[in-house]
Structures are given as structure tokens and as C-alpha cells.
Chains A and B, each alone.
Chain A
Amino acid sequence: MGSNIQERFRVSNGMAFFLIHTMQIGIGLLGYERYIAINAEYDSWISIIITGVSIHLILWMMYSMLNKEKGDLIAIHTRAYGHYIGKFFSFLFAIYFLLMGATVLRSYLEVVQVWMYPDLQEPIFLIFFAVLLYYTISAGFKTVTGIAFFGVILPSFLIFFLFFPLQYSDWDYLQPVFNHSIKDILLSSKAATLEYIGFEVILILYPFLKKPEKSQKWGQFGILFSTFLYVIVAIVTFSYFSQEQLGRTIWATLSMFKIVEFPFVERFEYLAIAVWALIIFPNICISLWCAGRTLKRAFHIRQRGSLIVMLLIVYVLQLLIPDRETTDLFITTVSRVGFYLIYFYTPFLFIVFHLQSRRRSR
């Protein structure tokens, strides 16, 4: 079920790396340091590694279900809960993906407004963006994957600019290592999971890979690379800011770019924000595509039709959020849902699914 996708619509296995990695790296990378450092302070780079390991495990669970079912989440839901309840859960997933896309766009707009254009006229800007999203997503999964590929490759040069803040690094701030309780480190790990959510899309796009059973290593590589990036950026940030200073810096990564100076580019962070559009764009595309795909599989709704409705919802949602507090609330709510989805729902589904399929094979 669900695996009868024509060969010409499929993408190669290696793309699982880009699809998963690009979903994890997004707007969070601009300012996650402050949140993860709340509990474990400057030991929290350890927390990132712990979270990374746990995410590898969750992805393995997902692949174990997908490989057995040889289908996608909708098929797994049907197998685990039966026809109607399964569809209900799939619908919840569709809403989750839609809201995920909306949060990413919202947080990006916030950065643009604070740093570049305080009097940006959102309604007009969003129309441009919505048209672009429609144009890309309606072209199909292959195009979305291509965007994911470029969304990783093109902005990757930014990593070299960490060299500039590194010149100001003070390693005293990171010492002594392991000076926090296990509880604090785990609490920071919990905060770090928010940076990893998004890889659940594999549950939907699995059948679109050429030999999906063999794609797991690429997916795991994608997570490994995300962990690597988060740890490196966190360590550079911690050596660049003092602890209390970081607590007062909302977009720490972006603030680090403020130190970059070239004779021809006075303010590098503006360039970084513009390039960040390339990072978040595939994020939104994949989320919305997955939402549409879920609706199509569960309720046989045409993807183009649902896409227009979803874009409208995203559009209205952006305009309904008035201030920073609400934005923050919106983002935390969606990411909290993501947290429970990963650490509670996925293992639960894993157990139910395997029990059910064993019962059936008997």
C-alpha cells in the first residue's frame, strides 16, 4: 500500500540525507544557543549530543515500521488502529505539518522585521512568498527535493564565517566541563530536541525514494550532520559570549555574524539573513507538501486544491499573530507538540504497530 509510486516520480536514496537534514536545520539555528543553555549552561553542548543519539534511535524506530509496512505513515496508521481511527491520526499529522510550515515562516519574518526591515509590509511580502511556495510545491516532489538539496548546499558556505567569532573566543567560559548535574544536562537535552524536529517527514515521503529500505543510512547521516553542526555552532557561541550575555541575546548565531567585517560588506548579518531564506524555504515546502500528501492519501483530496487552502491558512495565521509574545507562544506550542510526537507517540506507535502486524501474520 502506498508504495506504488511510479519510478519517474521517485528520487534517489541519497536525497534522504538532504531532506532530513534540511528539515532539522532551520530558523532554530539562529538562536537555539540561549534556550539550550538555560539549564546546563555552557555544558549544554553535551546535551545536544545526547539528544542527537536519541534522535538516531527514533529514526531507527520509524524506519523499522516503514520497512515492514513498505508504505507510509497512513498505511502504518491503518494497520495499527484500523481504518477510521487511523485516518483521524493521519489528519492530526497533516495539521501538525501545516503548522510546522507556518511557524518557520513566522519566525523568519520576525527576524527580517527585527534586523532588516522594521516596517516591512507583511501582507504584500507574504503574497510574493505564497506564490513562490505554490509554484514550487505544485511542481511536485522532485522539485521539492531539488530545493532541499540546494537549501543545504548553497548556504553551507556560511559555516566558514564562524572563523570570525572564533578569533574572539575565550575557552575559560567552557570550563570546567561537566560542572552541572545530570538533571540539568537532560533538561537542556529536552530543550535541544526542538532543534531536531522535522525529520518526521520521512514517514510521509518514504515511498518516494528509489530503494527506500536502503535509505536509512542516509537519513541517519543527515541527523549526524545536524548534530555536528549544532555542536560546532554551540561551542563557538559559548566561547564568544559570556553566559549572562548569551542570556540576553535572542539570535546568538546572527549576533555572531555582526563581528564579520569586509571592506566591501559593512554588515554581514544582512547577507546571512537573506541567505537564510534559502535555508527555511525548503523547510516550508517539505512541510506543506507532506501535509498535502497526507490529506491526499487519507482522504483522496487533490494536492493542488489542498495546497491553495493551506497557503491561505498560513497566510491568515501570519497576519493574525500580532506581537513577539504570541509568536513565541505559537512556536513553543508547535515545538512542544513535536516533542511529544517524537518521544511519546512514535515509540507508542512503534509498539502498537509491531503487535498488530504480528497478530495479523499469525
Chain B
Amino acid sequence: MMIRIISLILACILLMAGCTTKQEILDDINLITLIGYDHTDDRKSQGTVAVPQYKPDGTVQNEYYSAIGEIGQDIGQQLALQTQRPLVNGKLEIVLFGIEFAEKGVIETNDIFRRDPSVSANMKLAVYDGNVHDFIVNHRIPNQDLGMALTKLIEQNSKQETFPRTNIHLFFRTYFTKGKDPFLPLLGMKDGKVYLKGVSLFKEGKMVSALPASDLTMFTLLHSGFDSGSFVLPVKELNAEVSLGHIDAEPKVEMRGNVNSPQITYTIKLKGLINEYSGDIKGIEKKVKLIEKSVNSVLEKRAESLINSLQQQGLDPLGIGKRANAHYRDWDVKEWNEQYPELDIKVKFQTNITESGVIR
């Protein structure tokens, strides 16, 4: 009896599919994996989509459609005029914004994807430094789905801990958080290859500035810490360079004083090992203390200058305000925003090199 009823319930769910008029068969639809938006003139924007075509011989080809319109629906309808099969959002991997479009604001456009139940919460958003339409149409990657390739590029960097984890959910979570500003990966072109160019910083949903690639690792460390990150740093005292690997670090933000004059200290305990050392490797065990000290001061300087430049721009992608909100009971976002650029934020590194010169 019971088995029968349960299988009936499941059968009922399956039958529900029959109650809907529109059925979509994989071969009869175009699955979009990439959408790009460009700013054209004052009111209009251009949407470009990439659709991978899986050929019978196992190869993949990207097809492109492009249209200009005022709102997303407008673009969507014009795109439909060009395609033989309906365009579907279900497999959308990434949405790219041209840098000009991002500067005009991305929230309205993103909101459509946020509310679309067929779009994954793990969909990536990114800014492209240039014109997305030209990029999509001209960028030739053989035998690969373009949307998937870009997503993998970003995910790979998150895994390598050169960029914090990012997706549409996290973007909106930050956008709706008091005391934190959203950021997105910034992609660019070099020698015909697409690469992670830096971090694009947003204020109120509009891109206002960017961090260069050289700040990526430090930004990631301050934002979300390392499980197994790496750094290449100069050791001035020994006139050499050292590469640290397998770094485990957790940034801790300490707040002292009351809410009107907080003293903020980042304490980062960094545990790692020496992967490579350009100087004299002999007797490196004795130099470890010196290297640790040198690494501390270099990292502190880098971190403080990064935080200072963010403060001067009034941007808080690291979420220091959010941390203060969690710390102080009477935290107020308005007062915070006023005092944030003037705050004295110190960074302390405590590097601990656990291994050196061990052959692995």
C-alpha cells in the first residue's frame, strides 16, 4: 500500500510535466552560456550572447548573436528574430559587462538574472576591460565553449587563491550588506589571450575603479585568507627573492576603542614554507628568522598601502565596516562612511616558515 502510494506521488510529479504546454528538448533549444553587455549610447545597450554548438563529430563551435535595445527584454526579442531555436538561460555560466556599461551600473541588469529561477546562484559575473561584443566575436578558442572557458578561468584563480570566491549570489549579498562594497573580476586581453587583469571595484552597483593584477594576491589574502596560497617576495637584506608556498593564513580584524574612534588592527598569522630562494641556499636554516622578519615588513607595507588607497577612494570591498557592524552594538552606517577614509588601520603579519630546503 505504502510503496504504491509513494510511487503514485512520484508518478504524479512526473505527470506534472505533462500539464505544462511548453516542452523543451535539449536538441531543440539554444543554451546560452555567455551574455555580454555593452554601453552604446545614452539609453541603449548592446547584448551579445554566445551559444556553443556541439557538432556530431564531437567538436564545439561558438555561435554569436547580438542586438541593441533599451531593456533586457527588448534585446531578448531582437535576438529571437535571429535564431532558429529558442534561446534558454538554464545553462548560463557567466555574464560579462563592458567596462563602460559597468560604470553606468549593473544592478538592473543583474536583477533579472537574480530573480530568474532558471539561473544558478553560482553563475559568474565579470567586467571586461574593453568592448565585450568585439571580444566575443573576435576571440577564437578552438573546440571550447567560450562561457565555460571564462568561468573556468575565474574558478581556477579562486582555487589558486589569487581571487576571492565570486558569483552572482555573493555579489548581491555584498551589494545588500551595510559596510561592504561589491567587487568583480576584471578580465582583459593580452597577446590574443584572455586573462585576469585585476579587481573591478563597485560603489552602489557602479564600477568606480580597479585594482591591478599585482594587488590580486594581497587582496585575496585580506579578503578571505589563504588555505594554500603563495607569494613571491623580495628579501632586501639578503638581496634575494623568496617564494613562499602552501601558505595558511586567516586575517583577523581586531577592533578597539568605542564606535566613534575605533582602532583597527589586522592580525595575520601566516604559516608557509619556502618553495624557492634565489640567494645562496647554503645555511638557509639560519636565515629563516631574517627572512620571516623581512617578509613581515614587506607584506605589512603592501597591505597597508592597499588598504589606504581603498580608504582614500571611500571603498570597502574588504568589508571592514561589516566587521565593525558585527563588533559594535550601536554601529551606524552613515557615521561609519564618514569616518572610514580617516581611520587608522594597522596591519600586523606574523610569518612562520615551517620548512625550508626540504626536498619533497
> Which residues of A does B touch, CB under 8 Å?
112, 114-122, 124-125, 128-129, 132, 135-136, 139, 143, 146-147, 150, 154, 168, 170, 172-176, 179, 240-245, 248, 255, 258-259, 261, 266-267, 269, 274, 277-278, 281
9 closest Cβ pairs, A-B complex = A175-B326, A244-B176, A258-B121, A245-B176, A117-B20, A172-B326, A242-B177, A121-B19, A125-B19
Give, as a whole number of angstroms, the nearest-CB distance from A223 to chain B: 25
Contact A267 B1 (CB under 8 A): no
Given contacts A121-B20, A150-B2, A176-B326, contact A132 B91 (CB under 8 A): no
B325 adjacent to chain A (CB < 8 Å): yes
Residues of chain A with a CB closer than 8 A to B22's CB:
119
Contact A261 B122 (CB under 8 A): yes
Contact A119 B21 (CB under 8 A): yes
Given contacts A120-B16, A121-B20, A125-B16, contact A172 B325 (CB under 8 A): yes
Instruction: Give the segment of B58-66, B166-174, B278-286 that binds chain A.
Output: B166-174
Given contacts A121-B21, A242-B177, A281-B9, contact A115 B323 (CB under 8 A): no
A-B residue pair count with CB separations less than 8 angstroms: 108
Contact A143 B176 (CB under 8 A): no
Of listed B9, B118, B120, B176, residue having the most chain A CB within 10 A: B9
Residues of chain A with a CB closer than 8 A to B193's CB:
none
Residues of chain B with a CB closer than 8 A to A278's CB:
6, 9
Give, as a whole number of angstroms, the nearest-CB distance from B27 to chain A: 17
Residues of chain B with a CB closer than 8 A to A117's CB:
16-17, 19-20
B13 adjacent to chain A (CB < 8 Å): yes
Complex Cα distance, B22 from A259, in Å, reads 26
Contact A119 B20 (CB under 8 A): yes
Given contacts A175-B327, A248-B176, A259-B121, 7 further A-B contacts (CB under 8 A): A118-B20, A119-B22, A136-B5, A143-B2, A241-B173, A259-B169, A267-B120
Complex Cα distance, B120 from A277, in Å, reads 22
For A145, the closest partner residue in chain B by CB is B2
Residues of chain A with a CB closer than 8 A to B5's CB:
132, 135-136, 143, 146-147
Interface residues of B in 131-184 (CB under 8 A from A): 165, 169-170, 172-178
B346 adjacent to chain A (CB < 8 Å): no
Contact A147 B326 (CB under 8 A): no
Contact for A242 among B12, B176, B329, CB less than 8 A: B176
- Could you give 18 example pairs across A and B, Cβ below 8 Å? A117-B19, A117-B20, A119-B22, A120-B19, A121-B19, A121-B20, A125-B19, A143-B5, A150-B2, A154-B6, A172-B326, A175-B327, A258-B120, A266-B91, A267-B118, A277-B9, A277-B13, A281-B9
Residues of chain A with a CB closer than 8 A to B9's CB:
132, 277-278, 281
Give, as a whole number of angstroms, the nearest-CB distance from B236 to chain A: 37
Give, as a whole number of angstroms, the nearest-CB distance from A151 to chain B: 9
Contact B169 A120 (CB under 8 A): no
Residues of chain A with a CB closer than 8 A to B15's CB:
125, 128
Contact B12 A129 (CB under 8 A): yes
Given contacts A135-B5, A261-B120, A261-B122, contact A168 B12 (CB under 8 A): no
Contact A172 B319 (CB under 8 A): yes
Contact B174 A242 (CB under 8 A): yes
Give, as a whole number of angstroms, the nearest-CB distance from A54 to chain B: 27
Complex Cα distance, B170 from A135, in Å, reads 46
> Which residues of B does A touch, CB under 8 Å?
1-2, 5-6, 8-10, 12-13, 15-17, 19-22, 90-91, 117-118, 120-122, 165, 169-170, 172-178, 319, 322-323, 325-329
Contact A266 B20 (CB under 8 A): no
For A274, the closest partner residue in chain B by CB is B13
Contact A172 B120 (CB under 8 A): no
Residues of chain A with a CB closer than 8 A to B120's CB:
258-259, 261, 266-267
Q: Is the interface of A mostly helix, strand, loop or mixed?
A: helix
Complex Cα distance, B209 from A248, in Å, reads 28
Give, as a whole number of angstroms, the nearest-CB distance from A25 to chain B: 16
Give, as a whole number of angstroms, the nearest-CB distance from B292 to chain A: 30
Contact B329 A176 (CB under 8 A): yes
Contact B8 A135 (CB under 8 A): yes
Contact for A112 among B10, B16, B329, CB less than 8 A: B16
Of listed B21, B122, B173, residue having the most chain A CB within 10 A: B173
Complex Cα distance, B10 from A150, in Å, reads 13
Complex Cα distance, B165 from A108, in Å, reads 34
Of listed B117, B122, B170, B327, residue having the most chain A CB within 10 A: B117
Residues of chain B with a CB closer than 8 A to A129's CB:
12
Complex Cα distance, B90 from A188, in Å, reads 36
Complex Cα distance, B121 from A259, in Å, reads 5
Complex Cα distance, B175 from A248, in Å, reads 12
For B12, the closest partner residue in chain A by CB is A128
For B118, the closest partner residue in chain A by CB is A267
Residues of chain B with a CB closer than 8 A to A245's CB:
172-173, 175-177
Complex Cα distance, B117 from A118, in Å, reads 11
Give, as a whole number of angstroms, the nearest-CB distance from A286 to chain B: 14
Given contacts A135-B5, A245-B172, A281-B9, contact A176 B20 (CB under 8 A): no
Give, as a whole number of angstroms, the nearest-CB distance from B117 to chain A: 5
Complex Cα distance, B122 from A261, in Å, reads 8
For B18, the closest partner residue in chain A by CB is A124
Residues of chain B with a CB closer than 8 A to A115's CB:
117
Give, as a whole number of angstroms, the nearest-CB distance from B7 to chain A: 11
Give, as a whole number of angstroms, the nearest-CB distance from A174 to chain B: 8
For A111, the closest partner residue in chain B by CB is B117
Residues of chain B with a CB closer than 8 A to A124's CB:
19
Given contacts A245-B176, A274-B13, contact A267 B19 (CB under 8 A): no
Contact B177 A244 (CB under 8 A): yes
Contact for B327 among A120, A176, A240, CB less than 8 A: A176
Residues of chain A with a CB closer than 8 A to B6's CB:
147, 150, 154, 278
Given contacts A136-B5, A143-B1, A172-B319, contact A267 B90 (CB under 8 A): yes
Complex Cα distance, B318 from A195, in Å, reads 37
For B17, the closest partner residue in chain A by CB is A117
Residues of chain B with a CB closer than 8 A to A248's CB:
176
For A275, the closest partner residue in chain B by CB is B13
Complex Cα distance, B8 from A129, in Å, reads 10
Residues of chain B with a CB closer than 8 A to A132's CB:
5, 8-9, 12
Residues of chain A with a CB closer than 8 A to B13's CB:
274, 277
Complex Cα distance, B121 from A120, in Å, reads 24
